[in-house]
Structure 1
Amino acid sequence: MQRTLADWLSHIERIHPKSIDMGLERIRDVHQRLGLKRPGKKVITVGGTNGKGSTVAFIEAIARAAGRRVGAYTSPHLLAYNERIRIDGRDADDADIVAAFEAIEAARGEVVLTYFEYGTLAALWLFERAKLDLAILEVGLGGRLDATNIVDPDVAVITTVDLDHQDYLGDDREAIGFEKAGIARAWKPLVLGDDDPPSSVLGHAYAIGASAVRAGCDFFFEPLPGTDHWRWREVGYRVELPAPALAAPAQRRNAAVAIAALRALRPSPTRLQFAEGVAAARVPGRLQRFERDGIEIVVDVGHNPQAARELAAWLRASPATGRVRAVFAALGDKDVAGVVEALAEQVDDWYLAGLADSGPRGIGVDAFAERLRGSAADEGQRHADVATALRAARAQAGEGDRILVFGSFHTAAAALALLGAN
Structure 2
Amino acid sequence: MKNNIIKQFSFYEWLNYIEKFRINIEHRKHNVICIARKLGILPLNAFIYIVGGTNGKGTTCFVLEKILLGLGYRVGLYTSPHLFQYTERLRINGRELNKNLHVLSFIRTEQARDTLSLTYYEFITLSALYLLRYSELDVIILEVGLGGRLDTTNIINPNISIITNIGLDHTEILGNNRDLIGFEKAGILRKNKIAIISEKNLPRSLKYIIKKDRVRLKLINKDWFYKKYNNSWAFISKEFHCLNLPIPKVSLIDTATALAALSESKCFINKNVVKHCISQISIPGRFQILSYNPKVILDVAHNFHATTYLSKQLIDIKGFSRIYAIVGILKNKDIKNVFLPLISVVDYWYCITLQTNRSVSAEIIVQYLPIGSSIICSSTKHAWNKIQNIVSTRDIIIAFGSFFTVYEMYKMLKFK
Distance 2:247 2:43 in 1: 31
Check the 8 A contact 1:328/1:352 in 2, yes or no: yes
2: CA distance between counterparts of 1:17 and 1:122? 17
Report the CA distance between 1:14 and its aligned residue: 1.1
Match of 1:363 among 360, 363, 373: 360
Displacement of 1:111 in angstroms is: 1.3
**Offset at 1:399?**
2.2
1:40 CA displacement: 4.2
Q: Is the 8 A contact 2:239 2:264 kept in 1?
A: no
Residue 229 (structure 1) aligns with: 232
Match of 2:14 in 1: 8
Contact 1:53 / 1:283 at 8 angstroms: preserved in 2? no
Instruction: Give the distance between the partners of 2:213 and 2:372, measured in 1 at CA.
Output: 48
* Deviation of 1:241 (Å): 4.5
Relative to structure 2, which stretch is displaced further, 139-148 or 330-339?
330-339
Is the alpha carbon distance of 1:295 and 1:379 closer, same or farther for their aligned partners in structure 2, counting shifts above 3 Å?
A: closer
- Contact residue 241 and residue 278 of structure 1 kept, 8 A: no
Please tell me whether the aligned partners of residues 23 and 118 of structure 2 are also in contact (alpha carbons under 8 angstroms).
no
Gaps of at least 5 residues in structure 1 are none
Aligned mates of 2:385, 2:116 — CA distance in 1: 45
Q: Give the 5 Å matches for 1:157-168.
A: 157-168=162-173
Structure-to-structure mapping, 1:16-95, within 5 angstroms: 16=22, 23-95=28-100
C-alpha distance in 1 between matches for 2:240 and 2:267: 14
1:32-89: CA deviation from partner (whole Å, max 9, x where unpaired): 1212233341100000000011000111011111100001101111111100001110
- Offset of 1:203 from its aligned partner? 1.6
Once the two structures are superposed, residues 1-41 of structure 1 have per-residue CA deviations (whole angstroms, 9 ceiling, x without a partner) of 722211111100112269x9994222112111212233341
1: distance between equivalents of 2:282 and 2:135?
A: 23
Partner amino acid for 2:246? A
Q: Quick one: distance in 2 between partners of 1:366 and 1:17?
A: 33
Match of 1:389 in 2: 383
Matches within 5 A, 1:240-319: 240-247=243-250, 251-291=251-291, 294-319=293-318
Aligned CA distance change for structure 1 residues 22 and 380 (closer, same or farther; 3 Å): farther
Taking structure 2 as the reference length, the TM-score comes to 0.93
- State how far apart, in whole Å, the 1-side matches of 2:366 and 2:289 are: 27
Provide the residue aligned with 2:145 in structure 1: 140
Distance 1:210 1:412 in 2: 38
| 1:43–1:241 distance in 2 versus 1, CA, 3 Å | farther
Tell me what 1:118 maps to. 123
Give the Cα–Cα distance (whole angstroms) in 1 for the partners of residues 204 and 269 of structure 2: 31
The residue type equivalent to 1:362 in the other structure is S
Say whether the 8 Å CA contact 1:364–1:384 is kept in structure 2. Answer: no
User: How far is the alpha carbon of 1:107 from its aligned partner?
Assistant: 1.0
SS of 1:351 mapped into structure 2 = strand
1:407 to 394, 401, 406: 401
Contact 1:341–1:376 (Cα < 8 Å) also in 2: no
Corresponding residue of 1:238: 241
Between the aligned partners of 2:341 and 2:235, the Cα distance in structure 1 is 29
Please state how far the C-alpha of 1:113 moved relative to its aligned partner: 1.3
**Distance of aligned partners of 1:297 and 1:203 in 2 relative to their CA distance in 1, 3 Å threshold:** same
Letter in structure 2 aligned against 1:277: C
Alpha carbons of 1:78 and 1:35: their partners in 2 closer, same or farther (altered >3 Å)?
A: same
- Inter-partner Cα distance in structure 2 for 1:338 and 1:346: 14
Gaps of 5+ in 2: none
The residue that corresponds to 1:103 in the other structure is 108
Aligned residue for 2:208, secondary structure, equals: helix
What's the counterpart of residue 351 of structure 2?
352
Q: How many residues align?
A: 409
SS in 2 for 1:239: strand
Counterpart code for 1:140: G
Cα pair 1:39 1:125 within 8 Å, conserved: no
Contact 1:320 1:401 (C-alpha < 8 Å) held by counterparts: no
Query: Equivalents in 1 of 2:232, 2:11: separation in Å?
Result: 43
What CA deviation, in whole Å up to 9, does each residue of 1:215-236 have, x standing for no partner? Answer: 0110000024xx4111100136
1:376 maps to 2:370: yes
The TM-score, its normalising length taken from structure 1, stands at 0.92
Amino acid at match of 1:283: I
Over 3 Å counting, the alpha-carbon distance change for 1:391 and 1:26 in structure 2 is farther
Secondary structure of 1:265's match? Answer: coil
